[in-house]
Chain A
């Protein structure tokens, strides 16, 4: 829709329509006038004709009794003449009035008048003649002859007048017909235009109405959606409140759980270790104080008891560490990975004096991580590397950044593991080597995995049996 064009067009069309209607009305009225006028003309013509006939008849009547009067001299026979003479002027005046618009007819009327005068004069003269006594028939007829001629003359004028009148009527009727026809055409055209405009207006109105309906519908829809939006907003608000409430409750629950876990760990660190000490202490006391009774085999047994105790102690420590890592809050800092790796490596070298271990640590490694947790992870990873390469004469352990994999890597040339079990690698207590080969608790990698996970990173491993293992991890 082009609203601007329409808004200019519409008044123009309206004015046009009104004009056409007015024009139409004018034409219609005019044609009525024309018809009325033609009616008048017809009437006029008949009036003239009637008048002419009346005059003719008067003229005839005037001489009707003449012959008899001439013959008899009876005044009674002169009566028609007298009455005709009396009526004639008025009739001629009327005719003159009627034909006042037409000079030709007027001229005819003039002639008529003159002719009529002659006739009356003639009749008058004959009456004079007849006065006194009667005339002889052949004299009377002679006198009347002159009258006949005049009557003929009058007749001719009358006929001419009638003829003229008919001619005029024909002309006027023709004009009327023409103007009626043109009026009909014009009215027809105007009506057609009217019709077109009405149709156009109707369409316009219908379109406007449709538009209005559509707009109303849109407005209704809008109102409905707004109401819906408001309702939704309220709902969202209500949900938000319940959500906040739920979050608060959940946080409180989590805090409680955390505290309970802490208490649990605390108990563990005391209560589980204490009996271990007892076992170990008295085993050794037994060995030392009752060496003779114990004997060689007994000593061996005691050694196993004590190593079992040792293992349990390490297990407890590892478990405690794992639980602490889950609970601890992460504080990311800028960490010098190379330095930390070196520290861990140095510690391991110190703890394993008998072995030949080479650490190849890249320079300038940096990370954004929690230093304490990262330290634990590195200790476990490096420790594993050292442990599982214990059967190799010279252990080579590399640590650096792998650009392709976009991760840190730790590679050793130790025993490696079967990739078939790779999935279980990071589960707690899952071990891929028996105690016969390598002692361990199976918690180390689970701990590392947990540290990595808490940093939102990933860890995976690659290995070939007896050809070492590579562990890769990311920290974000």
Chain B
């Protein structure tokens, strides 16, 4: 397991949820940095732009302004640079349509955000534990 701080890219348009998610991540005590993109365009810029982040995990909401979550996912999977990055869709939507489409494009995991914060916090903790600690991330290209 690689040591050092791990980078999480959180793509979330709602500032409240952003705060809640970060809080949940902090509570889980997994050493990580979190960068936040407020919409699809910003996410793509962060991944493919000048800065060109290489996160260990991308937490992606589906309903985003400007560029939609599924579109972002598609772009991530299309580019060689980012194809192998683990992407976890974290969304309120329980539409089967979204679920199927996400897996078709190639999401690693699909999580429905529970309303209850405690549950959400627990889910986040588990997410973090799994993807950042247990899971072997693909090597940085």
Do A283 and B117 contact each other (CB < 8 Å), given the known contacts A278-B14, A278-B17, A278-B20? yes
The 10 nearest A-B residue pairs measured at CB = A313-B115, A281-B20, A278-B16, A281-B117, A273-B92, A280-B117, A284-B117, A276-B115, A270-B92, A270-B63
Report chain B residues within 8 Å CB of A283.
117
Contact at A282–B20, with CB atoms within 8 Å?
Answer: yes
Within 8 A of A (CB), among B64-123: 91-95, 113-118, 120-121
Indicate whether A28 reaches chain B with its CB closer than 8 angstroms: no
Contact at A273–B118, with CB atoms within 8 Å?
Answer: no
Binding site for A on B (CB under 8 A): 14, 16-17, 20, 23, 62-63, 91-95, 113-118, 120-121
Contact with B along A301-328 (1 / 0, CB 8 A): 0000010011011000000100000000
Contact with B along A283-296 (1 / 0, CB 8 A): 11100000000000
Indicate whether A236 reaches chain B with its CB closer than 8 angstroms: no
Total inter-chain residue pairs, C-beta < 8 Å: 60
Q: With A and B bound together, what is the CA distance between A301 and B62 in angstroms?
A: 33
A-B contact pairs, 14 of them (CB 8 A): A269-B94, A269-B95, A270-B92, A273-B92, A274-B14, A274-B92, A277-B92, A281-B20, A281-B23, A281-B120, A282-B20, A284-B121, A285-B23, A306-B117
Contact at B16–A266, with CB atoms within 8 Å?
Answer: no
Contact at B14–A285, with CB atoms within 8 Å?
Answer: no
Q: With A and B bound together, what is the CA distance between A276 and B17 in angstroms?
A: 10
Q: With A and B bound together, what is the CA distance between A269 and B14 in angstroms?
A: 15
* Shortest beta-carbon distance from A128 to chain B in Å: 177
Q: With A and B bound together, what is the CA distance between A360 and B51 in angstroms?
A: 64
Contact at A277–B95, with CB atoms within 8 Å?
Answer: no
Q: With A and B bound together, what is the CA distance between A282 and B121 in angstroms?
A: 12
Report chain B residues within 8 Å CB of A265.
95
Report chain A residues within 8 Å CB of B117.
277, 280-281, 283-285, 306
Partner among A270, A309, A320 whose Cβ is within 8 Å of the Cβ of B115: A309
